[in-house]
Amino acid sequence: MRKMLAAVVSHVFSRASQKKPALRGLLASQNFSNDAPCHIKKCDLYRLEEGPPTTTVLTREEALKYYRAMQVIRRMELKSDQMYKQKFIRGFCHLCDGQEACCVGLEAGINPTDHIITSYRAHGLCYTRGLSVKSILAELTGRKGGCAKGKGGSMHMYGKNFYGGNGIVGAQGQVAEAYNLSALWKLPCVFICENNRYGMGTATERAAASTEYHKRGNFIPGLRVNGMDILCVREATKFAAHYCRSGKGPILMELQTYRYHGHSMSDPGISYRSREEVQNMRSKSDPIMLLRERMINNNLSNVEELKEIDADVKKEVEEAAQFATSDPEPPLEELAYHLFYHSPPFGVRGTNKWITYKSVS
């Protein structure tokens, strides 16, 4: 009886092992589509006769690139949350998980030579502008390998053609002045309002008599865009950039999006909104989920390939986190370095008047 049972078990496992190579061969030989036509939501227009297209083409190469970038940003922000709670990250920290389509779609619609000035919810834009996950997480932990040498932290990260972490966000006087001068001088400037529905802990409906922020430019044309769909953001950005480059002056884009975390790490994010609201957005409008479904439905990829990307992203972020917690902090003698660009060395007095730090460009 035991021999018979052993034979049956051996036969079952033998058949199972024979199926695995066949399954892998089937997946490897699958022919994916090179591209797919996609319908996207029409933008609301202000002072514009025509807007971005409502159809576009998504190539397989683009889709895989966008998917990976958004997954990197999502996992990087979740790792930042963990490291903050472990006290590796201190001070202010504003996470952008849920808003990945905004930064990835924006970068997909402009040129690397274009310049970006952003608010302090900037980690995702740091990555899309070319900074590595290592340099971002190391900056968050205040290490020498950070993108700002460990001196900027979450709110002050910089890269080539990228000037990140500026406040106060939406200060009305400054914004009005910028709108006026850019329109007066016809500057090629795209103003972007990332409307994640809350100003810190206040819902937009409670703070604004009109929530049509794409019309706030008054004399500047505007677009209201589905900021949870990367293709909507990409096409709207292309349209806005072309509008500016053609000499027509500035334009305003409102990206309707949503943040899963609170305003900052000190905000649990559930005292002014319900858990059900957040979960509803995750289940119906998540930007990564929407792109994944579009890729699979249009045969641009499959579940197995996307799982491989997810595993590769997880490994990259984990390695970056290890670097960010083991890299040395900048030495004290470099405290006053990089105050000016291309300036001769000079002395900077510290908090103790008997101590002077040397500043080197």
Dihedral, CA of residue 41, residue 252, residue 94 and residue 77, to nearest 10: 40
Which residue from 115, 25, 110, 127 is spatially nearest to 72, judged by alpha carbons? 127
Mean pLDDT of the residues in the chain: 91
> Which residue stretches of the chain are H helix?
2-28, 60-85, 100-109, 123-128, 133-140, 172-184, 204-207, 230-243, 275-285, 287-297, 303-326
DSSP code of 25?
H
Q: What is the pLDDT of residue 5?
A: 39
Phi-psi region of 245 (alpha: psi -120 to 50; beta: other; left: phi over 0): alpha
- Which residues does residue 193 pair with via DSSP β-bridges, in sequence order? 254
Which residue from 111, 105, 57 is spatially nearest to 234, judged by alpha carbons? 105
pLDDT-derived band of residue 6, with 50, 70 and 90 as boundaries? very low
What average pLDDT does the segment 29-58 reach? 95
DSSP code of 268?
-
112-140 pLDDT, tens digit each: 999 999 988 999 999 999 999 999 999 99
pLDDT-derived band of residue 170, with 50, 70 and 90 as boundaries? low
DSSP, collapsed to helix, strand or coil, labels residue 213 as helix
User: Which structure tokens are listed for 90?
Assistant: 């201190």
| CA distance to 2, 10, 24, 263, per residue, from 14 (Å) | 18, 6, 16, 55
Confidence (pTM)? 0.90
Q: Is the pLDDT of residue 25 over 80?
A: no
Phi-psi region of 32 (alpha: psi -120 to 50; beta: other; left: phi over 0): beta
Q: How many residues does the chain have?
A: 361
75-97 pLDDT, tens digit each: 999 999 999 999 999 999 999 99
